[in-house]
Amino acid sequence: MNFELLFQLLLNGLIVGTLYGVVAMCFVLIYKSTQIVNFAQGEFLLIGAWVCYAFLVEMSMPFWLGFLFTLLFMMAFGIVLQMVVLRPMIGEPIISVIMVTIGLSIFFQAATKWIFGATTATYPQVFETRSLNVLGMQIETAYIMSFVISLFIMAGFYWFFKYSKLGLAMRATAFDQQVAQSLGISVKTVFAMSWAISALVSGVAGIVIGMVNGVSSALSVIGIKVFPAVILGGLDSIVGAIVGGVIIGLLENTAEFVDGQYLHWGNLFSIAPFYVLIIILCIKPYGLFGTKDIERI
Amino acid sequence: MAGFSLRPCGDFRTTYRQDTRIFDTTYIRNAAILGIFAVAMIPFVLDGYYVNLFIQISYFAIAALGLNILVGFTGQISLGHAAFFGFGAFASAWINNTTGIPVLLSIPLAGLMTAAVGMLFGLPAARIKGLYLAIATLAAQFILEDFFARAEWFTGGSYGAAANPINVFGYEIYDDFSFFYVALFFLVVMYLLGTNLMRTRDGRAFVAVRDHYLSAEIMGINLTKYRLMSFAISSFYAGVGGAMYGHYLGFVSAEGFTILLSIQFLGMIIIGGLGSVKGTLMGTVFMVLLPEVMESGVSALSVFEWASSTAVTDGLAYIKEMAIGLAIILFLIFEPDGLAHRWQQIRAYWKLYPFSY
């Protein structure tokens, strides 16, 4: 048994897993406050990464400025999307809501391919050194940076929902829309802001992954990988999203290890999360931290 | 059928039998029969391009009807329909290649095999619904896609599988002209079966499960049974459609059955109208014709500078994809009941003109 490889893969899993956790958190944020399942989450990453690429390469801005503009763009994008497309869907049956986000997903995927091309693009070099030595192992700087950014975002979310006024308003809306509205919270603003924040944070995740792997339409696959993570953690639990993301990241890399060392089946790592997904749905559909629905007639 | 009908004055129903007829009035029935004959004339009148389009419409329409039975009538959501469609294509080719059963018989057999697989992936549906089911079927899509690429004994792996042409009583069907009639036959039979299903106890049970599953259960409808049955019937349709697709092309490759096709199937039934058999056909026609119309539209506009630029001509595939997504979004926002509803309105307008209230 190759322990060094296993350890390296597990570390990768942890780093990728925290990124999954961040994207899953954005997904849960939208689901929790607006009851919309966002199948276009992966496209948010894609758009964020491509827009940042456009700012950096086509307009040759310095990194911090391009990054800042991307954040602003993503925020506006989220708000506009919510107002134009999702607001008319309030109160529609779940199939319509799912289909609208799926429609958005294909639309944006095709649009980015059309505008930016289908080939992988790389960002200009941001860091001086390619890799650092941590505990005797070579880790890419971008990986470490992505890990730090993920932790930073998570801490930010914690602060936001615990102390900021808007975050508290969002939690109140998620808990009971009518009561929140009667207490003077603008539910419309909360809906728009939750999409804005989700788009913004997903955009950051997209840029981070784009730095490591390059920008291509493969980024949107993350949006689908989020589902196992979210279901595992429970659909309406932010903590669950993080835990689920990390577990799925670790699982993927463990599957890759087992596959590479023993089974030699090929792409087991990309399909393993979906088997887990089916099993969880059969055993414990509300996930580890999710609240169980109780229905009345 | 569902919704308000436009019966002539004095045409009253006195028995349940009359009330549940497939065709509401004799006129509609005659029109439908005439319509089928008119369609059967297509290969004599129009050229091969349209015949090919009709064949595409027919196999997609069969699979889409299956999805509408599942989504529109039973209220379950499936994002993995393309995988079942693909499974049917591979299954029919496999049955025909290994056992030598004639293709005409292997198509329904493939449907049954797909139904079994559909039930397997429908098992979680016994416990979950709505969004969770959507995600479970999404997983089914990826798992089956992976299976297609992996199971070489069944699908030929990455090389794909060869599918023999249909053989009717020793007469081999290899060109579009004769396949057209096979496709028409299957289309009519499957649509009659589908419409009929909705008149039976099982069909009404589906609708009851969709409208309020708890009330349905209280009324003595076995939820697990009917959910699984709905998955099985839906997969059967997908399997038959897929098998026709396979035998039409003569070759099945693992790449064709992606999530995008699943979404297109959902788009067909949403654009056509959820819970409408007639709408399914309309939606399929819309979805198949949309890219074709766009292509001819772009070439017609090529006199203008922008339409003949490389951005448009090279990106046409992406523009078509965008159009599919956009069509789904626009229909959901502006016409959530689909083309079937619009058709109903147009008919009501003409029927009641000029007093349309």
| Count of CB atoms situated within 10 Å of the CB of A231 | 31
Nearest to A103 among B130, B218, B325 (CB): B325
pLDDT-derived band at A296 (thresholds 50, 70, 90) equals low
Chain B CB contacts of A221 under 8 Å are none
State the DSSP H helix or E strand holding residue B201, giving kind and residue range, or none if neither.
helix B201-211
Cα B244 to Cα A245: distance, rounded to the nearest angstrom: 41
* Residue A103 one-letter amino acid: G
Beta bridge partners of A138: A133
Nearest to B71 among A95, A224, A267 (CB): A95
Of the residues B77, B224, B318, B326, the best mutation for testing chain A's interface (the one with the most A CB atoms within 10 Å of its CB) is B318
Q: Is B22 helix (H, G, I), strand (E, B) or coil?
A: coil
B260 touches A: beta carbon within 8 Å: yes
Across the interface, whether the CB atoms of B329 and A85 are under 8 A apart is answered yes
Across the interface, whether the CB atoms of A106 and B263 are under 8 A apart is answered yes
A268 → chain B, closest CA residue: B146
- Angle at alpha carbon of residue B354, lines to B353 and B357, rounded to 5°: 85
B77 touches A: beta carbon within 8 Å: yes
Cα A68 to Cα B104: distance, rounded to the nearest angstrom: 62
Chain B CB contacts of A95 under 8 Å are 71, 75, 77, 270, 274
Which DSSP category does B73 fall into? I
pLDDT digits (tens, 9 = 90+) for A96-133: 888 899 999 999 999 998 888 878 888 776 666 666 66
pLDDT digits (tens, 9 = 90+) for B91-140: 999 998 888 888 888 999 999 999 999 998 888 777 777 788 888 888 99
Q: Write the secondary structure of chain A as one string of H (helix), E (strand) and C (coil).
A: CCHHHHHHHHHHHHHHHHHHHHHHHHHHHHHHHHCCCCCCHHHHHHHHHHHHHHHHHHCCCCHHHHHHHHHHHHHHHHHHHHHHHHHHHCCCCHHHHHHHHHHHHHHHHHHHHHHHCCCCECCCCCCCCCEEEECCEEEEHHHHHHHHHHHHHHHHHHHHHHHCHHHHHHHHHHHCHHHHHHCCCCHHHHHHHHHHHHHHHHHHHHHHHHHHHCECHHHHHHHHHHHHHHHHHCCCCHHHHHHHHHHHHHHHHHHHHHHHHHHCCCCHHHHHHHHHHHHHHHHCCCCCCCCCCCCCC
Chain B CB contacts of A94 under 8 Å are 77, 130-131
pLDDT-derived band at A63 (thresholds 50, 70, 90) equals confident
Cα A159 to Cα A153: distance, rounded to the nearest angstrom: 10
Domain boundaries, chain A: 3-119+137-283
Beta bridge partners of A134: A137
State the DSSP H helix or E strand holding residue B348, giving kind and residue range, or none if neither.
helix B338-352
Cα B145 to Cα B258: distance, rounded to the nearest angstrom: 7
Chain B CB contacts of A297 under 8 Å are 214-215, 218
- How many Å is the Cα radius of gyration of chain A? 19
B146 touches A: beta carbon within 8 Å: yes
B72 → chain A, closest CA residue: A95
Size of interface A-B (CB pairs under 8 A): 123
B328 touches A: beta carbon within 8 Å: yes
Q: Is A134 exposed, middle or buried (0-12, 13-18, 19+ CB in 10 A)?
A: exposed
A292 → chain B, closest CA residue: B128
Of the residues A85, A106, A109, A283, the best mutation for testing chain B's interface (the one with the most B CB atoms within 10 Å of its CB) is A106
Chain A CB contacts of B134 under 8 Å are 37, 98
Q: What is the mean pLDDT of residues A15-36?
A: 89
**Phi, psi (rounded to 5 degrees) for B72:** -75, -35
Rounded-to-10 torsion of CA B323, B329, B334, B338: 80
Tell me what pLDDT residue B356 has: 63
Chain A CB contacts of B128 under 8 Å are 281, 285
B325 touches A: beta carbon within 8 Å: yes
| Count of CB atoms situated within 10 Å of the CB of B220 | 7
Across the interface, whether the CB atoms of A281 and B132 are under 8 A apart is answered yes
Q: Please give, rounded to a whole number of angstroms, the shortest distance from the CA of A236 to a CA of chain B.
A: 13
Nearest to B74 by CA among B175, B182, B208: B208
Across the interface, whether the CB atoms of B333 and A277 are under 8 A apart is answered no
Cα A53 to Cα A61: distance, rounded to the nearest angstrom: 10
Cα A271 to Cα B6: distance, rounded to the nearest angstrom: 52
Strands B161-162 and B251-252, sheet pairing: antiparallel
Tell me what pLDDT residue A107 has: 92
B139 touches A: beta carbon within 8 Å: yes
Q: Is B174 helix (H, G, I), strand (E, B) or coil?
A: coil
Q: Output the CA–CA distances (angstroms, integers) from residue A213 to A77, A94, A121, B172, B313, in the order listed.
A: 24, 35, 9, 52, 30
Token reading at B27: 């006129």
The fold of the B49-352 domain, in CATH, is ABC transporter involved in vitamin B12 uptake, BtuC (1.10.3470)
Sequence-distant contacts of B293-301: CB under 8 A, at least 24 apart:
B294/B319, B294/B320, B294/B323, B295/B320
B166 touches A: beta carbon within 8 Å: no
**pLDDT string in tens for chain B (357-residue length):** 344 556 677 777 788 777 777 777 788 888 889 999 988 888 888 888 888 999 999 999 999 999 999 999 998 888 999 999 999 999 999 998 888 888 888 999 999 999 999 998 888 777 777 788 888 888 999 999 888 888 888 887 777 788 877 777 767 777 778 888 888 999 999 999 998 988 889 999 999 999 988 889 899 999 889 999 999 999 999 999 999 999 888 888 888 898 889 999 999 999 998 888 889 999 999 999 998 888 888 878 777 777 667 767 777 888 888 999 999 999 998 888 889 888 888 888 887 777 765
Q: Output the CA–CA distances (angstroms, integers) from residue A103 to A29, A92, B86, in the order listed.
A: 20, 16, 22
Cα A261 to Cα A5: distance, rounded to the nearest angstrom: 10
Domain boundaries, chain B: 49-352
The fold of the A3-119+137-283 domain, in CATH, is ABC transporter involved in vitamin B12 uptake, BtuC (1.10.3470)
Question: For chain A, how far is it from start to end, CA to CA, in angstroms?
Answer: 56
- How many Å is the Cα radius of gyration of chain B? 21
Nearest to B206 by CA among B180, B185, B233, B171: B233
